[in-house]
Amino acid sequence: DYELCEEWGHLYPVPREDLINLHREHLLHLLAMGDMEKALQLLQRIEDPGICLAISEQSLDQHPNLAASHFLADYLTAHFYANLTTSRRNEIQALYMGSKVLLTLPELSRVNYFHLSSRPLLMLEQLLMNMKVDWVAVAVQTLHQLLAGQEIGFTVEDIDNLLSKYAEKALNFPFALKEKRS
């Protein structure tokens, strides 16, 4: 049905908003089905870059599943980096990194941290508080690789400071000295 509507749009004038809505729904459907290849082909078929940007951004703002969010954040960064404001760019890159970190977690645990996918530092802190040290090690390694040469609102030093803070708390043993009585 989406493809028929798309063909109809080539034959008759369709208002811009309706065209954006059609392609957005089609894109979200393809991503929900896990068909990233067809989703990419759909985006490549759209001739107007403004419409393509609007579709991609609106789709990302619908908070699709993890794989779809990762795909859209990657696509927007790769194709429309210069068209995005600095704050929006940082937001999308943080979502990309957060989704990448989520993909390193065991599949059954991802749902517990999905709401933090756009805030990788907070996700890292949550993992530390939940004592998921092995997961933190993989997450930190992933973030270090992704942050190389990028500026997205936080740095490798912020990650190191967070780890230092929790390491210090882990080594803080409150105790009372016993007095020796004669």
pLDDT value for 53: 93
pLDDT value for 82: 87
Low-confidence ranges of the chain (pLDDT < 50): none
User: What number of other Cβ atoms are within 10 A of residue 20's Cβ?
Assistant: 20
In the chain, what are the domain boundaries? 1-84, 88-171
**Burial class (CB within 10 angstroms; exposed 0-12, middle 13-18, buried 19+) of 97:** buried
146: closest CA among 124, 126, 114?
Answer: 124
